Structure 1
Amino acid sequence: MAGSETHYTLPRPSFDEDVKILIVVAPYYRDIADDLIAGAKAEIEAVGAEWELVEVPGALELPTAIRIADQTADFDGYVALGCVIRGETTHYDTVCNDSSRGLSTMGLAGLCIGNGILTVENREQAEVRADPDRMNKGGGAAAAALHLVALARKWKGGALPAGFRPPNA
C-alpha cells in the first residue's frame, strides 16, 4: 500500500545567496494541483527561497514552459506540477512519457528541475499523493529542485574538460 513505507529524506539544503524557483503547474484537476502547489510553496519557503507560479494548459506543456523560462528569465530551478489519471485510451501513456522525457532531457542539459507530475490510476491515488499532509509530492518535487540548485552552486565554476588530458597540459 502506498504511503505505508518510510523513506529517507535528505536534510534541506541551505543557501548563502538568494534562490528563485519557478513553479509551473498544469491545473487540469484544480484541487489536486492546488495541493501540489501548497506543498511546493511550503518547501521552497522553508529554505528561505522565493517562488513564482505560472499555469499551462496541460502536462505536455510543462517542459515547453520551463524551456521558455530558462531562455528568457532568471530562475535557479523549476518545479513541474500536474496530474495525469489513466483513462480509457493510450493518451495517458503519451502524456506521461513525453512530459517526463521533456523534463529529463532538460535536466540532463543542466537545468535544476523537480518533477511533480503525478501519474496515477485513479483520483484517490492522486489525492493521497498530492495532499501536503500525506505523501506531499509537490513538496518532494520542490525539494528535488532545491537540492539540484545547491549541487549546481557547489560545483559552479569548477567545470573541467571531459576526456583525456596529457600530463603538463
Structure 2
Amino acid sequence: MASSETHHVLDRAEFDKPVKVLIVVAPYYKDIADQLVAGAAAEIEACGGLHETVEVPGALEVPTAIGIAERMSNFDAYVALGCVIRGETTHYDTVCNDSSRALTLLGLQGLCIGNGILTVENYEQARVRAEAAGQNKGGGAAAAALHLLALTRKWGGSRKGVGFVPAREEIQIAGSSKGPDIA
C-alpha cells in the first residue's frame, strides 16, 4: 500500500510577494472534496498565501473553470481537486484522461496548476488519499502549484512568444547609442 512507502517531499515554497491561489473543486463526493480542500487551504496558508475556493459540477469542468479564471481574474496559481471512482462503464476512463489532459495543456501554456483530482478504484482508496491528516493529496496538489509558481517567479514570469526572445534593434538618440558601439 502506498501509505507505507517513504517519499521525498520538497521543502515548502517560500515567497517574498503575496500569493493568491484559486482552488477549483468538484464536490461530487462531498466529504472527500472537503478533506482535499482542507489540505490545500492549509498548505497555501502555511506559505502565507491567500486562497479562494469555487465549486464546479464535475472533474471535467475543473480545467474549464481554471481556464476562465486565468483569462478573467488575477490568480497566481491553481489547485484542481475532485475525485473520480471507477464505475461499471468507460465513463471513468474518459473523465480521468480528459480532465488530466486538459490540466496538462493549461500547464504547458504557463499556468501553475497542482492536480489533486483523485482517480481511484473505490471509496476507501479515495478516503485514505484525501484525509488532510493522512496522505493529504489536496495539500500535495497545493504544494505542487506553489512550487511551480516559485519557479515562475524565479525565472522572471511569463514572456510573450514561445521559444526565443528576438534581439532588440539598436536605437540612436542624438549621437549616442543605447547599445554597444559598432565601428
Q: What TM-score do you get using the length of structure 2 for normalisation?
A: 0.87
2:22 equivalent to 1:22? yes
Runs of 4+ in 1 over 2 A off after TM superposition: 157-163
Shift of 1:158: 8.4
TM-score normalised by the chain length of structure 1: 0.94
Quick one: structure 1 residues 121 and 157, their matched pair in 2 at CA, closer, same or farther if it must change by over 3 Å?
Answer: closer
Correspondence 1:44-83 to 2 at 5 A: 44-83=44-83
Aligned length, in residue pairs: 167
Letter in 1 for 2:4: S
Query: Match of 1:59, SS?
Result: coil
Partner Cα distance (1:65, 1:132) in 2? 24
- Looking at structure 2, the residues matched to 132 and 161 of structure 1 have their Cα atoms a distance apart, in angstroms, of 38
Q: Return the alpha-carbon distance in structure 2 between the equivalents of residues 124 and 70 of structure 1.
A: 34
Which whole-Å deviations, capped at 9, do the CAs of 1:37-84 have from their partners, x for residues lacking one?
A: 000000000000000000000000000000000000000000000000
Identity rate, percent:
70
Q: CA deviation at 1:85?
A: 0.1
* Structure 2 match to 1:146: 146
Query: Cα distance 1:80–1:157, how it changes in 2: closer, same or farther (>3 A)?
Result: closer
* Aligned position for 2:172: none
Structure 2: how far apart are the matches of 1:62 and 1:88? 23
Q: Would you say 1:110 and 2:110 are equivalent positions?
A: yes
Match of 2:2 in 1: 2
Q: Which runs of 5+ in 2 are unaligned?
A: 168-179
Larger Rg: 2
Q: Does residue 137 of the first structure (1) align with residue 137 of the second (2)?
A: yes
Q: 1:15 to 1:92 in 2, by over 3 A?
A: same
Counterpart for residue 88 of structure 2: 88
Return the offset for 1:118: 0.1
| TM-fit CA distance, 1:162 | 3.2
User: Distance in 2 between the 1:2 and 1:127 partners?
Assistant: 13
